[in-house]
Structure 1
Amino acid sequence: MKKKALAFAAMACSVAMLLSACGGSNSNAASGNTAGSNIITAYNSEPQNPLVPGNTNETGGGKPVGLLFSQLVSFDKDGKASNEVAESITPHADATQYTIKLKSGWKFTDGTPVTAESFTKAWSYVANAKNAQKCSSFFSAIAGYDDLQKDGLKGDEQLSGLKVVDDTTFTVDLNQSDSVFPIKVGYPAFAPLPESFYKDPKAFGEAPVGNGPYKFSKWDHNKEIALVKNPDYKGNEDVKNDGVTFKVYTDDSAAYRDIQAGNLDVMESVPAAFTKTFKTDKKVQAYSEAGSVIQTFTIPSSLDHFKNDEEGQLRRQAISMAINRDQLIDKVLNGNATAATEFTSPKTPGYSDSLKGADNLKFNASKAKELWAKADAISKYDGQLTFSYNADGGAKPIYDAVVNQLKNNLGIDAATNPIPTFQEFRDAVTNRQMKGAFRTGWQPDYPSAENYLWQLYSTAAADGNGSNDGDYKNPAFDDLCKQAAAASSTDDANKLYQQAEEILLNDLPAIPLYYSNASGVASLNVKSGYAFDWQNLPTYTEMSKK
Structure 2
Amino acid sequence: MGSSARCAVMVLVAGAVFALSACGVDDEGESGQARQEIAVRGCSPENPLIPGMTMESCGGQIVNQLFSMLIRYEPDTGEPVNEIAESIESDDNRTWTITLEDGWTFHNGEPITAHNFVNAWNWNAYAPNGTLNSYYFRAIEGYADLQPSDEVDSDEEITPDMVESDEMSGLQIIDDMTFKVTLSRPESSFPLRLGYVAFAPLPEHFFDNPEEFGENPVGSGPFQLVDWNRNVDIRLRAFPGYRGEVQPQVDEVNFRIYRDDTAAYNDLQADNLDIMPYLPSAALADSTYKGDLGDRYVREEALAVSTIMFPPESVDPSLSDPRLRRAISMAIDRESIIDAIFHGSRDPATGWVPPGVEGYRPDVCGEYCEYDPDAARDLFDEAGGYDGALTISYNADGDNRAWVEATCHSISDALDVECVGKPVPDFKTFRSQINADEMTGMFRNSWNADYPSIESFLAPVYATDAAGNDAGHHNPEFDELVAEAATLSGEDALEKYKAAEELLVEKMPSIPLWYSTIVAGYSTRVENVKITPFQTVDLLSVRLDDD
Give how far 1:26 is off.
Answer: 4.5
1:176-187 equivalences under 5 Å are 176-187=185-196
Q: Deviations over 1:205-234 (max 9, x none)?
A: 111101111111111111111111111111
Give, in whole Å, the separation in 2 of the partners of 1:269 and 1:284: 16
SS in 1 for 2:296: strand
* Residue 254 (str. 1) matches residue 263 (str. 2): yes
* Aligned-pair identity (%): 37
Give, in whole Å, the separation in 1 of the partners of 2:363 and 2:449: 22
1:363-374 equivalences under 5 Å are 363-374=371-382
Match of 1:538 in 2: 537
SS in 2 for 1:240: coil
Match of 1:62 in 2: 60
* Residue 327 (str. 1) matches residue 344 (str. 2): no
Match of 2:134 in 1: 136
Match of 2:366 in 1: 358
Q: How many residues align?
A: 508
* Residue 75 (str. 1) matches residue 73 (str. 2): yes
1:122-271 equivalences under 5 Å are 122-150=120-148, 152-153=159-160, 157-271=166-280
SS in 2 for 1:332: helix
CA contact (8 A) 1:325 1:513 kept: yes
**Which region of structure 1 is more displaced relative to structure 2, 493-502 or 237-246?**
237-246
CA contact (8 A) 1:260 1:283 kept: no
Q: Deviations over 1:49-94 (max 9, x none)?
A: 110011011111111100110100000111010011011111232x
Q: Deviations over 1:315-344 (max 9, x none)?
A: 111111110111111001111111112112
SS in 2 for 1:288: strand
Higher relative CO (Cα under 8 Å, sequence separation at least 6) belongs to 1
Give how far 1:284 is off.
Answer: 7.2
Give, in whole Å, the separation in 2 of the partners of 1:280 and 1:232: 41
Match of 2:87 in 1: 88
Match of 2:427 among 411, 422, 430: 422
CA contact (8 A) 2:481 2:500 kept: yes
Structure 2: 5+ residue stretches without partners: 1-12, 26-34, 149-157
Paired letter, 1:205 = G
What is the Cα-based RMSD across aligned positions, in Å? 1.7
Runs of 4+ aligned residues of structure 1 deviating over 3 Å after TM superposition are 24-29
SS in 2 for 1:281: helix
**Which region of structure 1 is more displaced relative to structure 2, 434-443 or 296-305?**
296-305
Match of 1:297 in 2: 308
CA contact (8 A) 2:24 2:38 kept: no
CA contact (8 A) 1:140 1:146 kept: yes
CA contact (8 A) 2:293 2:521 kept: no
Give, in whole Å, the separation in 1 of the partners of 2:451 and 2:246: 17
Give how far 1:31 is off.
Answer: 5.4
Paired letter, 2:319 = F
Match of 1:520 in 2: 520
Change (3 A) 1:40 1:406: same
Give how far 1:272 is off.
Answer: 2.2
CA contact (8 A) 1:518 1:537 kept: no
Give how far 1:305 is off.
Answer: 3.9
Give, in whole Å, the separation in 2 of the partners of 1:30 and 1:336: 29
Paired letter, 2:370 = K
Please identify the structure whose Cα radius of gyration is greater. 2
Give how far 1:173 is off.
Answer: 1.2
Match of 1:32 in 2: 21
Give how far 1:236 is off.
Answer: 3.4
CA contact (8 A) 1:314 1:375 kept: yes
Q: Deviations over 1:142-195 (max 9, x none)?
A: 111111112541899211111111101111111222222101011001000000
1:97-112 equivalences under 5 Å are 97-112=95-110
CA contact (8 A) 1:275 1:334 kept: yes
